[in-house]
Amino acid sequence: MAVLNYKVLGLRCGLEIHQELQTTRKLFCFCPPMLQIGEPDFRITRNFRPVLGEMGKFDEAMLVEYEKQLIILYEGYNAVCCTYEMDETPPFNISEEALRIGHIIGMLLKLNLYNELYVCRKNYLDGSVTCGFQRTLLIGSDGYLDMEDKKIGITTIAIEEDAARKVAEDGKTITYRLDRLGIPLIEIVTDPDINTPEECMAVAYRLGMLLRSTGFMKRGLGTIRQDVNVSIEGGARVEIKGVQKLEWIPLLIENEVRRQLNLLKIRNELIVRKVSEEDLSNNFIDVTSIFKKTALKFMREAIQSGQKVLAVKLPKMEGILGMNIFPAVGETPGVRFGKEIAQKVNNITGLKGIIHSDEDMEAYSFKKPELTALKKALEIIEPEKREEETVEEATESEGKEELEPKGDAFVLVVADDAKAKKALEITVNRLKMAIRGVPNETRKALENYNTEFIREMHGGARLYPDTDSLPIRLNKEYFKELSREVPEYPWVLAERLREKYELDDNIVENLIMQGYGGIFEEIVVKYKSNPTLVASTLLETLKSLKREGLESDNIQNSHLRDLFDLIQKGAIAKEALEDLLRVIAQTPSLTVNEAKEQLAIQALSLKELDETIQSIVRKNEDLIVEKGERAFSPLMGEIMGIIRGKIDGQIIASKLKEALTNFAPGGSTVQASARLINREIQELLTTDQNILEEKGEGAVDLLLIKLKKRFKGQVEEKALKEKLMDAIKSHLASG
């Protein structure tokens, strides 16, 4: 595949970053901003209709959503949803906490911050917002992000409410959970100053680092979302939504550039063929009778059920629908123009696809008489030989796709009459757009780095004032006070964490990107905590809880502060951290002390520790005599099972080692059991059979040396020798 020259192509990219804020309440109500698990408490079903904008016009994108005729099912939880999420009451006062966070981010990005704010409505008709619009506030504009070699302009920053989260989709019914609806988020829109795919990924990473480093952002999957805007010279702005991973960005941009180049190639070919928009009409022909006995099973059964087969003629377009839009990559097949149109038809009408003349008709089992009758009904003109005209290429590196002289094309749709007509209308309109070039669209990022149609690009009629909200006026004192809270840039913080606490690059990056850089340093300094322990708690323990399926994002910085405060005071041991964090993740409304009480964790004195260790040692005397120092691990495990979290594990280990060093069997002089001594003697006689046969009773002194090492002074030598001699005599007598 040819390498793209992005400078020649005039590539321009911009980013829209949406990041949920870590606040104590939702943006326009007082419900806690927490996602829930388990069965919802209630369900509501609704449908939507578009409304006129303030200028007396419908937003085109809204009309597309309405045409889908979706049924929306909402699921809610009483703990985190109120009448506002259900659109039964107007908004309450805005969260001042969210507003302050937005302004702090604005200061970091050098924006001109507005001193008078207006809540606006941004139309949504996909069901993700119950009232049909999202409330949003523009708080500043004209800032910039410093990169290593240039400044990337920041167009605007807005504070807005997050949409409900989609949990299921079944045909025309979409199910949303209301727990996420209303959670505050910040939207950062950059200028189209980005000129390569790699630079776009670098800008997204740096913006994400800046946001996460403040500690004001929610963590976890889905809390940050990135949209990428892409255009080239002669093309159009296309918004790619739902870019879930940074590493997707370069390939998504590259494929979108190739898509736009191919669409321009199609436009140029249509110009050469002298195809105009007037050539395309909504003259849909009912050809059901032609296919009543077709071998194509799904079509035959559809006709029998009362559905129709409608067709439309596409003059001078043979070969156009078969042109590649997305290139094939590895095992992923390319996407042809006809497939892209089919995706749009599916998105709007729900139909699985269309049939067009650039496909392999044999694959559909159509018979020649059927195709002949179809072409006659549509008055299809067969291709006439004409001299190939030169098509100006969009880029030299992309090469030129030669097209043979072509005639007419056609599209077939199988559905009920209204849906079939709608599908063909969408097809014709999309082909009219192809004559103009690249349409402005919002498209969904796919995991194979291609995209598919979501909706037309939203127009200006989408944003209008919220009549339920008053203006918010801010004075100079507010901004002056807030400027004192602006944190340092994360790249400065990263350098200090590396040098001051001797952390490696990977740990530093993870601390900052997960928003723990500030709280890490605060805990280490304020509570004199071990940096390694704090880092492992933040990065490993919380991740472990998430693997268990727990909402570790429910654990707030305040919980972490309180936990390490208790460790410093000796009220809990570091071994209790994971258990306490697990309880808090399950029930975030609990305080740390309440979680501690729930687990019945009480600090243990050194005297109580000594008593516990002595009790375990006395119970396991035989094990200690048998294994010596190797008894440490099983004994430590038994002790930790009793007092884990009540006192530091290092103290327990030290005390246990001391007890083992000073261990003397028999209380102060408890004798090792006769059973154990006899067992050791028998093993000795077996392993040293040769010495015994050679020296007889004279072997006693040699064997006694080994036996004394085994018991290390725990048994008197005289008694040990007597037992050994008795055993030797008995062994020789029996042998």
Query: What is the DSSP annotation of 320-382?
Result: TTTSEEE--BTTBPPEEHHHHHHHHHHHHH-----EETTS-GGGGT--HHHHHHHHHHHTPPP
On whether both 286 and 380 belong to a single domain, the answer is yes
According to DSSP, residue 554 is labeled G
302-311, 374-383, 527-536, 568-577, range with the lowest pLDDT: 568-577
Q: Residue 212 domain-assigned?
A: no
On whether both 137 and 37 belong to a single domain, the answer is yes
Model confidence at 17: pLDDT above 80: yes
On whether both 560 and 494 belong to a single domain, the answer is yes
Q: Give the number of C-alpha atoms closer than 13 A to the C-alpha of residue 320, restricted to the C-beta side.
A: 30
On whether both 54 and 184 belong to a single domain, the answer is yes
Q: Residue 450 domain-assigned?
A: no
On whether both 518 and 397 belong to a single domain, the answer is no
On whether both 67 and 102 belong to a single domain, the answer is yes
Mean predicted lDDT score pLDDT of the chain: 87
Q: What is the mean pLDDT of residues 155-175?
A: 94
Q: Residue 2 domain-assigned?
A: no
On whether both 535 and 515 belong to a single domain, the answer is yes
Q: What is the mean pLDDT of residues 528-555?
A: 87
b vs e for 505-527, b when ≥16 Cβ sit within 10 Å of the residue's Cβ? eebbbbbbbbbbbbbbbbbbeeb
pLDDT at 37: 86
Nearest to 699 by CA among 709, 691, 707, 687: 691
Q: Residue 296 domain-assigned?
A: yes
- Residue type for 719, please? A
Predicted confidence band of residue 387 (pLDDT cuts 50, 70, 90): very low
On whether both 308 and 424 belong to a single domain, the answer is yes
115-119, 296-300, 546-550, 657-661, range with the lowest pLDDT: 657-661
pLDDT in tens, 568-604: 887 887 778 888 898 888 888 888 888 878 876 665 5
Which of 256-270, 523-537, 694-708 has the highest average model confidence (pLDDT)?
256-270
Strands 184-190 and 238-243: unpaired
Domain that holds residue 381: 271-441
Q: Residue 712 domain-assigned?
A: yes
Number of domains in the chain: 5
Name the domain boundary from 142, 165, 191.
191
CA 136 to chain centre: 24
On whether both 581 and 612 belong to a single domain, the answer is no
pLDDT at 646: 62
Model confidence at 459: pLDDT above 80: no
Q: Residue 530 domain-assigned?
A: yes
Q: Are 243 and 252 in contact (CB under 8 A)?
A: yes
Residue 94 burial (CB < 10 Å; 0-12/13-18/19+)?
Answer: buried
Q: Residue 698 domain-assigned?
A: yes
pLDDT at 663: 65
- Residue type for 294, please? T
169-173, 420-424, 502-506, 638-642, range with the lowest pLDDT: 638-642
Model confidence at 385: pLDDT above 70: no
2-6, 88-92, 148-152, 629-633, range with the lowest pLDDT: 629-633
pLDDT at 671: 45
Q: Residue 44 domain-assigned?
A: yes
Better pLDDT: 705 or 470: 470
Name the domain boundary from 157, 191, 225.
191
- In this structure, the number of other CB atoms found within 10 A of the CB of residue 312 comes to 25
Model confidence at 648: pLDDT above 70: no
On whether both 575 and 639 belong to a single domain, the answer is no
From residue 459, give the alpha-carbon distance in Å to each of 56, 57, 440.
Answer: 13, 10, 10
Q: What is the mean pLDDT of residues 236-247?
A: 94
Angle made by CA atoms 15, 212, 141, in degrees to the nearest 5: 45
b vs e for 265-302, b when ≥16 Cβ sit within 10 Å of the residue's Cβ? bbbbbbebbebeeebbeeebbebbebbeebebeebeeb
Model confidence at 76: pLDDT above 50: yes
- Tell me the β-bridge partners of 138: 158
From residue 316, give the alpha-carbon distance in Å to each of 99, 270, 359.
Answer: 57, 8, 16
Predicted confidence band of residue 388 (pLDDT cuts 50, 70, 90): very low
pLDDT in tens, 79-101: 999 999 999 999 999 999 999 99
From residue 476, give the alpha-carbon distance in Å to each of 119, 175, 625, 670.
Answer: 21, 45, 77, 81
On whether both 618 and 730 belong to a single domain, the answer is no
Predicted confidence band of residue 657 (pLDDT cuts 50, 70, 90): confident
On whether both 414 and 530 belong to a single domain, the answer is no
Name the domain boundary from 573, 598, 623.
598
What's the CA gap between 345 and 412, in Å, rounded?
12
